[in-house]
A and B are shown apart, each in its own frame.
Chain A
């Protein structure tokens, strides 16, 4: 039982490049979330999903897209990366939309 697994752990991109972050959970959770964490800003919700095939916007959705084609996977896409998207990205999942289990994070730098 691995819990929540994020891929990759680190990535460096150039401005304008695109990439996809993968989050996988093996706990059969309905709810999945993507956050970004910046110094002094806490955890800010980007997008979330309340079940397979659903997505919804969080606090800071601009510049990101998501997909939840399979219940266990939640993908976060950056279509045209910008330096302002340099951050640590955390994925989380939960069974009841309450207690959330976090992955180890992806450290993303955009030059």
Chain B
């Protein structure tokens, strides 16, 4: 079955710096890759997603890139702010379900 590896597990940056989180997947048939943000004690919320026929997608300070050949995709956050502090999860879609990475705890220091 599908396996999703996410790195790093923790990431600390200064306010205004960029943050990058990377994920790899194993099933070449996977075709949809969402990213979720989970604040402490809250539900995961979808922040951006990308389909396998697209190489990059941007939404304001957030971007996602996908390399199908290498089977990896990344989340890029620019001009980080303290409110970006949260746990971020990547996921890969296979056969009607999502397989999640282990999560990255991002801390943005003012």
With A40-B102, A98-B34, A99-B49 given, is the CB distance from A90 to B96 under 8 Å? Answer: no
Closest to A100 in B: B98
Contact between B93 and A43, CB atoms less than 8 A apart = no
Contact between A103 and B102, CB atoms less than 8 A apart = no
Closest to B4 in A: A42
Contact between B98 and A42, CB atoms less than 8 A apart = no
Nearest chain A CB to B70's CB is how many angstroms away? 22
Partner of B97, one of A42, A48, A99, A104: A48
Nearest chain A CB to B94's CB is how many angstroms away? 10
* Residue A31 CB within 8 A of the other chain: yes
Which A residues are CB-close (under 8 A) to B93?
A: 97-98
* Interface members, chain A 3-59 (any B CB < 8 Å): 31, 33, 40-45, 48, 50, 56, 58-59
Contact between B43 and A42, CB atoms less than 8 A apart = no
Known: A48-B96, A48-B97. 13 other contacts (CB 8 A): A33-B97, A43-B100, A45-B97, A59-B1, A59-B99, A98-B93, A99-B46, A100-B46, A102-B43, A102-B44, A102-B45, A104-B43, A105-B43
Binding site for A on B (CB under 8 A): 1, 6, 9, 32, 34, 42-46, 49, 89, 93, 96-103
